[in-house]
Amino acid sequence: MAVVVLAAVAGLQAYQLDRLGDRLADTDRRLAQAQDGDLARLDSLDKRAEALEKQAGAAFNPEAVASAVLPSVFRVRAGEFTGTAFAVGKPASGGGTNLFTNFHVVEAVWDGGGREVFLERTSQRFPATIVKVDKTNDVAHLRATGKFTGLVTAPAAAKSGQQIVVVGAPLGLEDSVTTGVVSALRPAQGGSGPAIQFDAPINPGNSGGPVINGSKEVVGIATAKARNAEGIGLAVPIKVACDGFKIC
C-alpha cells in the first residue's frame, strides 16, 4: 500500500513539475513577445524622431543661413563705388580666393584701366584684383590673396516661392541680412538666362551680394531693384556666373 501511495505522490509531483514547466515556457514566450513588441515600438519611435529631426533641419532658418555665409561676404570698394562681393568655390589656383560681384560695381575702375579693388569686413581691408568681367550678364570675377571660405553654389535653379536670404552692404552697411521669396523668373534683357525676381528688400550697395537658399547655397547674385517700387529685386542666376567663369 505504501508503494502505491509513493508512486501516486511521485506521479503527482511529476505532473505538477510538467505543468510548471509548461507555464514557465508560456511565460517565457509571452516575455519574448512583449520584448519584441517593445523593440518594434522603440524602433518606430526612433524612426519618427529621425523624421522629425530631418523636418526640423529642412525648415527655413535665416539665422543659421546668415551665420554660415556672413564670413564669406564683403563690402567691396571700387574707386568711389561701394557694393558687395562674396567668396565662391574652391581656393584659387596658386592660393587665394575667387569672388563674384557685379560688373557695374567695378565698372569705373575697369574702364579706367585699373584692376585693384578692396574687400572690407569690420576694420579689416584686403586687396583684390579684377580678373575678368562679363558686361552682358553684369558679373565680375575678383581674386584676393587672402584665404576665405568659398560659398557653395546651388545645383538646381531657383524656383518661384523658394525662401531666400540676401546678404550685402546696402548704403555701405556691411553684414546686412534680409529675407524673402523668389517671386518669379523673368526674361533677361540681353543676358544669358532668366533673371531671378525676389521680394527681399535691397538697396544700393547690395549689388554683387549673394542670394542664398535655405540649404545655404548661392542661387543668384543680387544686381538691381525696381525704381519707385518696393519688393522687386533682381538677381543673376548663379549658374550664369559659374558657366561664364568656371570657378565654382
86: left (phi over 0), alpha (psi -120 to 50) or beta: beta
- Which among 211, 222, 128 has a CA at the least distance from the CA of 162? 211
Any idea what DSSP says for residue 83? E
* Cα–Cα distance measured from residue 236 to residue 234, given in angstroms and rounded to the nearest whole number: 7
> Does the annotation count 28 as an active-site position?
no
Active site residue 207: yes
Assign 111 to helix, strand or coil: helix
* β-bridge partners, 128: 117, 144
Catalytic pick among 72, 176, 183, 207: 207
Helix, strand, coil percent content, the chain, rounded in steps of 5: 35, 35, 30
Picking from 136, 87, 77, 65, the residue whose alpha carbon sits closest to that of residue 108 is: 77
Q: Active-site residue among 72, 134, 138, 176?
A: 138
Among 72, 104, 176, 183, the active-site one is 104
Q: Any idea what the Cα angle at residue 110 is, between residues 220 and 87, rounded to 5°?
A: 35
Neighbouring C-alpha atoms within 13 Å toward the C-beta of 94: 4
Alpha-helical (H) ranges within the chain are: 2-58, 62-69, 103-111, 238-245
- CA 134-135-140 angle, 5° bins: 45
| Active-site residue set | 104, 138, 207
